[in-house]
Structure 1
Amino acid sequence: MERPELPLPQLHAFVVLAEELHFGHAAARLGIAQPPLSQQIRRLEDKVGHALFTRASGGVALTPAGRELLPAARQSLAALANGLSAARDAGSGRAGRLRIGFAASLALTVLPGLLRTYRDRFPGVQLDIHEMTTAPQLAALHEGSIDVGLVREPPTDEPELRFRTVLSEPFVAVLPSAHPLAAQRTVRIAQLADSPFVLLPRTVGPTLHDRIIGLCTAAGFTPEVVQHTVEWQTVCALVETGLGVSLAPASIRRIRLKGVAFRTLAPGTARTHVAVAWRANDHNPLVTHLLETVSQDPSDEHRPGRRAARPSAGSRET
């Protein structure tokens, strides 16, 4: 037997009357006249098939059927109120789950400040963080498995994606401490021509890889890459062993290894860029709010996470 649906306005009228036990008081609380309230209760009783109230001295009293219905009616109204509130929060970007991909090196720069600022503004949003290099991030954005990416050296041939620069930082030379160039305060890229290189493979960050190779080519040589590895921390560890040298974003200086020297490039015009990436057709308010959180000006010294890119007080570039 099919159960009749109970309209929520009738349930609301029933709960208010059950709490007031007086038609006049309930009607005033609902902001309606008594006849419409009586009609709502009568229609609800018709659907239930039993009377919900009986006349009592000075008002009404719940029948056994009414007492049985009251907890369920309150639960239904509460569930609706909670659902409406959750829907409003999700629609406005105050709640939900935001999936963010990020390149590991950005944990040393823009990521901590960005996440802290976003969480302060939208504490009801669950952040789902995924560490991945640039190429997998771009694939994940296309697949829809992440909503936003933080990538280094964004590509220019991704019409379905949008990019906004959030950080610009110089490249530095990464040298074994025993390397002859480590005795210098600054290094010209051309001076690295005779040294083997340790680099990230092109498959994980094609634009960044090509950028580094391009810097070497502009300096008059093609680097001899003796080892590829997907993490900058591993690059530094292999440099420490004397396997080779590298060119890396300046934030990598925060990876402290005794046997590694980081040296400023001269001239210091070579820079690498970090961008937030998202789908061009994505109108998710969670994404919109994240974009509002990040600075559009890569030279802004107060953008989220900027301080993390600087060595701590009293440290030196070694």
Structure 2
Amino acid sequence: MERPELPLQQLHAFVVLAEELHFGRAATRLGIAQPPLSQQIRRLEDRVGHALFSREPGRIGLTPAGRELLPPARHALTGLADGLAAAREVGSGRAGRLRIGFAASLALTVLPGLLRTFRERFPAVQLDIQEMTTTPQLAALRERTIDLGLLREPPAHDAELGFGTVLTERFVAVLPSAHPLAAQRLVRVEQLAGCPFVLLPRAVGPPLYDQITGLCVAAGFTPRVAQHAVEWQTVCALVETGLGVSLAPESIRRIRLKGVAFRRIEPGIARTRVAVAWRKNDSNPLVPRLLAALDQEPPV
């Protein structure tokens, strides 16, 4: 037989009366008249099937059944109060969980300062940080497995997603230290025409890939891609081995490899865009909180 649920109002009345052991004081504490209190206790006793209080002239006490019910009743009320408080914190954006995808290269620029600022302001928020390239981030946002993305070169328009610019960066040439062009302070893109290239696969970030290859086409050649690598750290490591050269966002300079030289390029007007992405219809109150923290980040 299914056990009936006990109304929380009756449990609350029971706990207060058990603590006061006086109907008048308990009614005053509950802010109700004494007859409604007596009715709630009677209804609760009917549900339990046993008296919860012994009633004698001038005094009441807990019966064995009442003493047995008191600890779980208190636990239920405390759990409800804690749950309501937690719900208020999450609903107001002061607590909860925020899942963030980020391109690995952004760990060299905006990500550390952003996370530090956000954690200082909202220490109760659980941050779930996932490293992924641009295309998987866009898919994860649509599939609701992340709440925000930090990526490079987002699409120009998207019906589901919103985008905001975080920063822009120049491009640099990535060269083996022993390469003849490494002796120059400035490298013209056309000087890379005869070199094999190491690039990210187009599938992980089509706009950035097209921007890099477009720089080469504008300089009069199509880059010969000798090797692909999913992360910029790996691109630089392959350049160090002499497998080729690359063009990369300027922040990649912060990857410290002894056998790699980074040089400014000419023309130097091209820039890559770092953006934050989010779902336009997302109801998570933590999303606008992080967007506000990004707006207040100093430029890198």
TM interval, shorter chain, is over 0.9
2:261 — aligned with what? Answer: 261
Q: In the alignment, which residue of structure 1 is the partner of 2:220?
A: 220
Equivalents in 1 of 2:234, 2:49: separation in Å?
A: 74
Tell me the number of residue pairs that the alignment of Structure 1 and Structure 2 aligns. 300
CA distance in 1, matches of 2:218, 2:283: 41
Distance in 2 (CA, whole Å) between partners of 1:52 and 1:93 is 42
Q: Verify: 1:163 aligned to 2:163, yes or no.
A: yes
Give CA-to-partner distance per residue, 1:129-166, whole Å, 9 cap, x none: 21111111112222222221111111124322111111
Alignment of 1:243-254 (within 5 A): 243-254=243-254
1:287 partnered with 2:287: yes
Question: SS at 2:238's partner residue?
Answer: helix
Q: How much has 1:5 moved relative to structure 2?
A: 2.3
Letter in structure 2 aligned against 1:31? G
SS at structure 1 position matched to 2:203: coil
**What SS is found at the alignment partner of 1:60?**
strand
CA deviation after TM superposition for structure 1 residue 169, in Å = 1.4
Query: Separation in 2 of the partners of 1:57 and 1:18?
Result: 17
- Give the whole-Å Cα distance in 1 for the aligned partners of 2:133 and 2:287: 20
| In structure 2, distance between residues paired with 1:4 and 1:224 | 74
Amino acid at match of 2:153: E
- State how far apart, in whole Å, the 2-side matches of 1:194 and 1:200 are: 19
Shift of 1:13: 0.8
For 1:168-247, what aligned pairs fall within 5 Å after superposition? Answer: 168-247=168-247
- CA-to-aligned-CA distance 1:19-71 (integer Å, 9 cap, x gap): 11111211221122222222221221222222221235753211111111111
Runs of 4+ with >4 A deviation: none
2:202 is paired with a residue whose SS is coil
Q: CA deviation at 1:215?
A: 1.4
Letter in 2 for 1:171: F
The 1-side partners of 2:28 and 2:22 are apart by 10
Listed as ranges, the gaps of 5+ residues in structure 1 are 307-318
C-alpha distance in structure 2 between counterparts of 1:44 and 1:160, whole Å: 51
Determine the C-alpha separation between the residues in 2 that align with 1:270 and 1:226.
Answer: 24
Give the whole-Å Cα distance in 2 for the aligned partners of 1:125 and 1:60.
47
Question: Secondary structure at 2:289's aligned position in 1?
Answer: helix
- 1:40 equivalent to 2:35? Answer no
Q: CA deviation at 1:259?
A: 1.1
The answer (yes or no) to whether the contact 1:13–1:37 under 8 Å persists in 2 is: yes
CA contact under 8 A between 1:23 and 1:59: conserved in structure 2? Answer: no
Match of 2:152 in 1: 152
Aligned to 1:309: none
Rounded Cα–Cα distance in structure 1 between residues aligned with 2:160 and 2:132: 20
In the TM superposition, residue 267 of structure 1 has moved relative to its aligned partner by 4.0
> Which residue type is aligned with residue 219 of structure 1?
A
What is the alpha-carbon root mean square deviation over aligned residues? 1.8
Distance in 2, Cα, partners of 1:235 & 1:5: 62
1:310 equivalent in structure 2:
none
Matched letter for residue 256 of structure 2: R
| 2-structure distance, mates of 1:88, 1:52 | 34
Tell me, yes or no, if structure 1 residue 5 matches structure 2 residue 5: yes
Note if contact 2:105-2:232 (Cα within 8 Å) is conserved in structure 1.
yes
Amino acid aligned to 1:204: V
Structure 1 residue aligned with 2:76? 76
Alignment match, 1:59: 59
Counterpart code for 2:46:
D
Q: Distance in 2 between matches of 1:283 and 1:49?
A: 45
- 1:17-36 matches, within 5 Å, as 17-36=17-36
Give the Cα–Cα distance (whole angstroms) in 2 for the partners of residues 58 and 249 of structure 1: 84
Question: Matched residues, percent identical?
Answer: 77
Aligned residue type for 2:41: I
CA distance in 2, matches of 1:254, 1:13: 64
Structure 1 residue 286, shift from structure 2 partner? 2.2
TM-score, normalized by length of structure 2? Answer: 0.94
Task: Tell whether the 8 Å contact from 2:189 to 2:267 is kept in structure 1 after alignment.
Answer: no
Question: Alignment partner of 1:203: what SS?
Answer: helix
Q: Which amino acid aligns with 1:184?
A: Q
1:116-127 to 2 correspondences below 5 Å? 116-127=116-127
CA apart distance, 1:7: 0.9
Amino acid at match of 1:287: V
3-state DSSP class of the match of 2:295? coil
Q: Please, which runs of 5 or more residues in structure 2 have no aligned partner?
A: none
Tell me the secondary structure at the aligned position of residue 97 of structure 1: strand
